[in-house]
Chains A and B, each alone.
Chain A
Amino acid sequence: MRNSDPLADTDTKRRLDVFLAQVERRAYRMALIATRHRDDALDIVQDAMFKLVRSYAHKPEVEWTPLFYRVLQTCILDWSRRRKVRNLWQRVLGGHDEDGEDPFALVPDSVHATPDYRVAKNAAMDALERALAQLPLRQHQAFLLRVWEGLDTAQTAQAMGCSEGSVKTHYSRAVHALRELLEEHA
């Protein structure tokens, strides 16, 4: 039976805090690769956290990971749909198109890093993230959930809200598209 307020249980609250702290950075990077807008990515992660806590805190802890990524991917898809509508209206009304890259998203996250660090930063990482950002949304979602988050096909299907067959297709296409780049930087 669903607990009316699972957060009243301090142990659940503490475990949720630990869980969210473990996934928040990866979630942010996933959202950033999809949106290329820092504040949009932060808002998406915040929305996903709220929805997980509000709707799924009562679920067993082992289910939190696929549920959180399900919510996150839904938030990213919603963002993508809203952006398409906004861009359409802006084109109709003669405004600028938001498909352009957010200049702030191009600023390295470690803006306070030393020059030594920036020089040492792995160029392959930048190339990989740029390539991922160019993939269709569903492909890079499947790739990141499988490879980075380590979800299996069934969990990825649950997180993406699609069939396992679709996950395999998206993942396979992503791997093929990225293979050349990965071999180049291997």
Chain B
Amino acid sequence: MSERDDLDPAAAQRVRARLEQGAQQLNVYTVQRLAQARAAALTGVRTPRTSRPWLLPALGAAVAAALVVSVTLQVMHKPDAGVAEVANLDLELLTAHEDLDLYQDLEFYAWLDDEHESS
């Protein structure tokens, strides 16, 4: 390692002093939280975690995604169900032994029946 790759001792000392200054000037809240974390680690009882602000948007996004999936599935499956229903009906008609003309002439037979009763 060349000299340019390392700090000279005086510069390293200055850097250490500056970093140490930052570490010794923590606010009361942070110092208390660190002490609580230390005590918790030594007793084996965790304190509640605090850094989960991303959970709310993540939860919201998950709910939105679930809704989108649900609606998409409904839209995708509903036409299929309708088509299947009609297809079943068509299949019944096509496979029935009755004469298809019977279905087509029902109105005529109904009229004929009315005429017969009124005469």
Contacts and interface: CB of A to CB of B under 8 A. Distances in A.
Contacts of B47: 46
B14 interface: yes
A172 B42 contact: no
User: Does more than half of chain A's interface fall in helix, strand or loop, or is it mixed?
Assistant: helix
Given A28-B26, A111-B27, A124 B18 contact: yes
A113 B25 contact: yes
A100 interface: no
Given A42-B37, A186-B11, A95 B51 contact: no
Contacts of B20: 26, 148
A29 B23 contact: yes
Given A43-B49, A89-B58, A128 B19 contact: yes
B6 to A, nearest CB: 6
A110 interface: yes
B15 A93 contact: no
A13 interface: yes
Contact of A93 (B14, B23, B27, B61): B61
